[in-house]
Amino acid sequence: MDEMLLLRHGETEWSRTGRHTGRTDVPLTAHGEDQARTLAPLVKEGGFGLALTSPAQRARRTAELAGLPEYEVDPDLWEWDYGGYEGVTTPRIRESRPGWYLWRDGVPPGDTEHPGETAAQVGARADRVIARAKAAEGRVVLVAHGHLLRVVAARWLRLPPEDGRLYKLETGTYSRLGFEHGEPVIVTWNAPLNGT
């Protein structure tokens, strides 16, 4: 692998309003679709030996609007399963859990569709994605979600999954992970293109 291009999906109504969106399959807003289209110059660079996207429609639609011609859906790229906090905003959670912080405090179990995950479980999924990426030829592109991609970055740097908290990531942005002198580095992080 030469480099890993990370594309965070465009805006959804839930991301715009700060609702935790794990496995709930919400669509992009019109602004989110515009954000996805602005990512096209990055996709046109080509050379992808591996292109993966989350199963969520917001990620797949971002890939399509950005012009990614072919990709494989990888369930390991689903967003963090927020369990009982699915669809809930941080301020609302803090009404009953003052000072709650996802990266430190985790999530309670939810229903059968949202059982919840620990940071370690998200980290294990990120590790599998990274292993696939490292085995690929050329460039790799991942189209996925904010918290999941932050965990990918932490694991890329050989840090604990919880250290994803250090990397803020907005919708419709791109990041690049690569190497310097054979060691993993962040080359670009949370970078917007025109229109985001």
Which residues form the catalytic set? Answer: 9, 79
What the block records as the tokens of 25 is 């399959």
DSSP 50-69: EEEE-SSHHHHHHHHHTT--
Q: Which two tokens stand for residue 51?
A: 């292109």
- 70 Cα distance to chain centroid: 19
Specify burial of residue 7 (Cβ count, 10 A radius: 0-12, 13-18, 19+): buried
CA distances from 125 to 17, 149, 195 (A): 27, 11, 31
CA neighbours closer than 13 Å in the CB half-sphere of residue 36: 26
Q: What is the rounded CA–CA span in Å between residue 104 and residue 139? A: 33
